[in-house]
Chains A and B, each alone.
Chain A
């Protein structure tokens, strides 16, 4: 029985996908599979790669007769997956197949677990970096069950949010049990996923439907990012629109081009509307997250543009008084250096440590200095 299906749609960056696949296939584990699908532009490259390796763990789906949207591509991969657990990553990302060991150790202690999340790690590909980039990873390694109500507050009320909700659950860079996937499909639209922003679409559903959500603080995957930490992959959020004031869904006047916070909020709000969920009291948390999204900009010009665009959207949405909670400050001043070292359970370090050329290389660097996955079972014993 395949324990884990790692699903990866391949769209515009097949070279990056191949770097990930090469590392995945070096794993000696036999209890996982990789399900990939390309489009017309890269089908031949992927087919050549699959033929060359001849590894039954790698399954390449046939190219469709038309280009698929992100959600269509993801649904097709999930439909084809055979694993007991599923994880969806983007072509610029990486996930460690040792996730199988984490799943096994988890269900030994929490048999009812059906969603597993883990600490986040991000990597900006070298060509997209604008000088030195300091990143951080969580260094703790506790594993525990998270309370569903708490997760709902974090996701829908933006409690304890950074620029994004602090919710690590869902099939995108998370592991979800097949039974839960099916409950979600049957309980909502009959589709595995409904929105092109796959991450937040599925996070909403997982948080509402999961029987037991288990979180391990230690990162198990890497999200590949573009310049200024913008989302690079079609599975971790839709690409930003060229025009920050572009089309949006009234009465929520935030466009995807504003930033990651706006994109997450658009997906969450679309989900709420679809399900008829009406909540009060989440706006302040969201506005504060908008401010933090501005603060992720490392260039003053970009910071100012983002601040103005968010401010206009907030004022348009809730009126000028709502701006009282929107006070972003530019953090990356040239006279204030970035911190490197360990503080508050996070290691801050130069992303060029070990000169990683890919998300998989980067994972190799952090894997060497984080709690060993192989010891998780003994730690929990």
Chain B
């Protein structure tokens, strides 16, 4: 293992900057760095922005490693909000392209090859998205869990108008708008990031739900957006992840309190344009995402026609897949209260969730559905997102063929 270096060793310009903001999850972060350091790619850098209470573990990790591709940005004198920790990362980067992942995730630096291919195909490309795997760390499996791997390898240019319809107006009516573009598990050209900063309040990121803040701005601004179905990164979920709340109501309560404390922002405490509570029982990612997209659209004057009815469908979709009656009732009550307070209850009648229908199984249905492999994680012998990525690569198109644009294969 080659040692990582400290912040004083600034690298020359590289193709890709991988940013890892982290707070108090040093063990996961070090594992993530180790996995990325195993790459033979040279044309990338990794910037770790440490926002931990104790700076020693990551500092020591960097002291014991020396890999010029890695740099540490040390904690400041006070705890930063998540959005501020992301914000300070971007000026530290030297890449033409920038990507952010979580400290318990993984990204394959070979995605640089995809970026070069797309730049060759469309010189004006400013945002690149790709498929993502999902993986639960072994400490985050209080119930049966599934990992997932997209198996496609198609590439295409996405229609920005369609993306905006999906992200801003929730035209799909699903619990999460499918977007695929943004700096989080995507790549954004540096010039677009600078344009975003100039256009949107002098900051790269504003809203505490930082990933969707970025999605909104990228989809609003990017001149050309290219997507590749083949996954190049893994969304890891450790026990301390926000998404771990999906597996445990107790975990949800702890995370909500932490988020409230560390994201002291009026943006999420009170939003008269979208008065759904994000912190009480029944809170859901669906509502958090909608609060972010509505905030963005209202602030920057984006047409929201149709959003209300679409969001009602999305909220019903969110309730439909509740794992238990308790979770269903909490969600319905939360969302119903939001609809009652929204525009004087004007949209409340649109929210008519179907009665609770207990699922036959929860997180047990492995198999291949809609070209996505779902794997029962208790059967896997890999323990980190990096290991999982290498494991799953056996069942997806090799990077070399994707980067080369190979179209003919033998089955």
Across the interface, A370 reaches (CB within 8 A) one of B367, B371, B395, B406, namely: B367
Known A141-B367, A338-B409, A375-B364; 17 more pairs at CB < 8 Å: A331-B410, A336-B409, A340-B394, A340-B395, A340-B397, A341-B151, A341-B396, A342-B151, A346-B411, A368-B380, A369-B374, A369-B376, A370-B366, A371-B365, A371-B366, A372-B376, A375-B361
- Give A352's nearest chain B residue, CB to CB: B394
Inter-subunit contact A337/B360 (CB<8 Å):
no
Inter-subunit contact B401/A337 (CB<8 Å):
yes
Complex CA–CA separation, A370 to B364 (angstroms): 11
Closest-CB distance, A263 to chain B (whole angstroms): 24
Complex CA–CA separation, A375 to B361 (angstroms): 8
Asked if A49 is at the interface of the complex by the 8 Å CB criterion, the answer is no
Asked if B281 is at the interface of the complex by the 8 Å CB criterion, the answer is no
Bitwise interface map of A from 363 to 381 toward B, beta carbon under 8 Å scored 1, else 0:
0100111111011001000
Inter-subunit contact B394/A332 (CB<8 Å):
no
Q: A347-B373, A375-B361 in contact; A336/B408 too (CB < 8 A)?
A: yes
Inter-subunit contact A369/B375 (CB<8 Å):
yes
Closest-CB distance, A298 to chain B (whole angstroms): 10
Asked if B110 is at the interface of the complex by the 8 Å CB criterion, the answer is no
Complex CA–CA separation, A352 to B392 (angstroms): 11
Closest-CB distance, A81 to chain B (whole angstroms): 30
| Residue of A333, A341, A352 with most chain B CB atoms under a 10 A cut-off | A341
Interface residues on A, range: 20 to 34
Top 8 closest A-B pairs, CB basis?
Answer: A353-B394, A368-B379, A339-B409, A349-B395, A139-B368, A350-B394, A342-B151, A371-B367
Complex CA–CA separation, A348 to B397 (angstroms): 10
Q: Cβ of B395: which chain A residues have Cβ within 8 Å of it?
A: 340-341, 347-350, 353, 369
Bitwise interface map of B from 52 to 84 toward A, beta carbon under 8 Å scored 1, else 0:
000000000000000000000000000000000
- Give B409's nearest chain A residue, CB to CB: A339
Closest-CB distance, A66 to chain B (whole angstroms): 44
Inter-subunit contact A375/B397 (CB<8 Å):
no
Ordered by A's residue number, 22 sampled pairs between the chains whose C-beta atoms are within 8 Å are: A337-B398, A337-B409, A339-B409, A340-B394, A340-B397, A341-B396, A346-B411, A347-B151, A353-B394, A354-B391, A354-B394, A367-B379, A368-B376, A369-B366, A369-B367, A370-B366, A371-B366, A372-B365, A372-B366, A372-B367, A378-B360, A378-B361
Q: For the complex, would chain B's binding face be called helix, strand, loop or mixed by DSSP majority? A: loop
Complex CA–CA separation, A26 to B373 (angstroms): 27
Bitwise interface map of A from 114 to 138 toward B, beta carbon under 8 Å scored 1, else 0:
0000000000000000000000100
Inter-subunit contact A375/B394 (CB<8 Å):
no
Complex CA–CA separation, A368 to B376 (angstroms): 5
Q: Cβ of A333: which chain B residues have Cβ within 8 Å of it?
A: 410
Which residues 351-406 of B sit at the A interface, judged by CB distance below 8 A?
Answer: 360-361, 364-368, 371, 373-376, 379-381, 391, 394-398, 401, 406
- Give B370's nearest chain A residue, CB to CB: A342
Asked if B138 is at the interface of the complex by the 8 Å CB criterion, the answer is no
Q: Cβ of B376: which chain A residues have Cβ within 8 Å of it?
A: 368-369, 372
Q: Cβ of A348: which chain B residues have Cβ within 8 Å of it?
A: 395, 411
Bitwise interface map of A from 344 to 360 toward B, beta carbon under 8 Å scored 1, else 0:
00111110111000000
Inter-subunit contact A364/B379 (CB<8 Å):
yes
Q: Cβ of B366: which chain A residues have Cβ within 8 Å of it?
A: 368-372
Asked if B152 is at the interface of the complex by the 8 Å CB criterion, the answer is yes
Closest-CB distance, A335 to chain B (whole angstroms): 9
Asked if A343 is at the interface of the complex by the 8 Å CB criterion, the answer is yes
Complex CA–CA separation, A346 to B373 (angstroms): 11
Inter-subunit contact B151/A354 (CB<8 Å):
no
Q: Cβ of A343: which chain B residues have Cβ within 8 Å of it?
A: 411
Asked if B153 is at the interface of the complex by the 8 Å CB criterion, the answer is yes
Q: Cβ of B360: which chain A residues have Cβ within 8 Å of it?
A: 375, 378
Inter-subunit contact A372/B373 (CB<8 Å):
no
Complex CA–CA separation, A340 to B409 (angstroms): 9
Q: Cβ of A371: which chain B residues have Cβ within 8 Å of it?
A: 365-367
Complex CA–CA separation, A322 to B366 (angstroms): 46
Inter-subunit contact B368/A369 (CB<8 Å):
yes
Complex CA–CA separation, A340 to B152 (angstroms): 9
Q: A333-B410, A337-B401, A368-B376 in contact; A342/B394 too (CB < 8 A)?
A: no
Closest-CB distance, B229 to chain A (whole angstroms): 9
- Give B395's nearest chain A residue, CB to CB: A349
Q: Cβ of B152: which chain A residues have Cβ within 8 Å of it?
A: 341-342
Closest-CB distance, B246 to chain A (whole angstroms): 20
Complex CA–CA separation, A350 to B391 (angstroms): 10
Across the interface, B365 reaches (CB within 8 A) one of A331, A347, A375, namely: A375
Q: A340-B397, A341-B153, A350-B394 in contact; A372/B364 too (CB < 8 A)?
A: yes
Q: Cβ of A340: which chain B residues have Cβ within 8 Å of it?
A: 394-398
Complex CA–CA separation, A337 to B376 (angstroms): 29
Closest-CB distance, B365 to chain A (whole angstroms): 7
Q: Cβ of B391: which chain A residues have Cβ within 8 Å of it?
A: 353-354
Bitwise interface map of B from 133 to 163 toward A, beta carbon under 8 Å scored 1, else 0:
0000000000000000001110000000000
Q: Cβ of B375: which chain A residues have Cβ within 8 Å of it?
A: 368-369
Across the interface, A337 reaches (CB within 8 A) one of B365, B374, B394, B410, namely: B410
Q: Cβ of A350: which chain B residues have Cβ within 8 Å of it?
A: 394-395
